[in-house]
């Protein structure tokens, strides 16, 4: 989680492998589009900063975060990617829906990582309100999209 001790966009540039020969799939949820759009911008820009070629970054959208599991699975099984990134923003509401979606997505992505051959990077913001999400998609705690891109490159190399 992003805290004052961990800025999501701070990392050691030199410790990130060259990504010019890598291919990435990104699945983005349409809910809370201001947040997920900013996460996507961060992820794509950071992949490119490390050499990834725009043609080798394929972006697909899904309606909501719960559908990220299916989207990631399709990319893992069909895409020929070195890593897949999921990006979503779930904001707590008045019903327990928040807990079910967060738990479902977390479990679904963990399961893909445990059973499939390609790393799936977990870019799901789970926050109590919109401001906490904005703080983590380019605000005071950096951009989780940047962090996911760096993790994707490192895991693709792994």
| Chain contacts with ligand RBF (rule: CB under 6 A) | 29, 31-32, 63-67, 88-91, 93, 95, 97, 101
Query: Does residue 97 have an active-site annotation?
Result: yes
Min dist CB 7 to ligand RBF, Å, is 24
Q: Is 94 annotated as a binding residue?
A: yes
Nearer to ligand RBF (CB atom), residue 80 or residue 93: 93
Separation between Cα atoms, residue 88 and residue 133, nearest integer Å:
10
Burial class (CB within 10 angstroms; exposed 0-12, middle 13-18, buried 19+) of 115? exposed
- Angle formed at CA 9 by CA 6 and CA 15, multiple of 5 degrees: 95
Nearer to ligand RBF (CB atom), residue 46 or residue 89: 89
Contacts of 106 (CB under 8 A, 6+ apart): 122, 124
Q: Is 118 annotated as a binding residue?
A: no
Q: Is 147 annotated as a binding residue?
A: no
* Residues designated catalytic: 97
């Amino acid at each position: 989680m992003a805290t004052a001790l961990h800025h999501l966009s701070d990392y050691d540039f030199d410790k990130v492998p060259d990504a010019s020969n890598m291919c990435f799939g990104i699945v983005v949820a349409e809910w809370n589009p201001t947040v997920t759009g900013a996460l996507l911008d961060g992820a794509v820009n950071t992949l490119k900063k490390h050499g990834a070629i725009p043609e080798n970054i394929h972006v697909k959208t899904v309606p909501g975060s719960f559908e990220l599991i299916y989207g990631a699975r399709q990319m893992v099984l069909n895409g020929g990617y070195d890593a897949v990134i999921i990006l979503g923003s779930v904001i707590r509401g008045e019903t327990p829906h928040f807990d079910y979606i967060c738990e479902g997505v977390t479990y679904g992505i963990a399961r893909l990582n445990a059973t499939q051959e390609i790393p799936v990077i977990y870019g799901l913001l789970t926050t109590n309100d919109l401001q906490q999400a904005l703080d983590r998609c380019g605000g005071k705690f950096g951009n989780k999209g940047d962090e996911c891109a760096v993790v994707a490159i490192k895991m693709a190399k792994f």
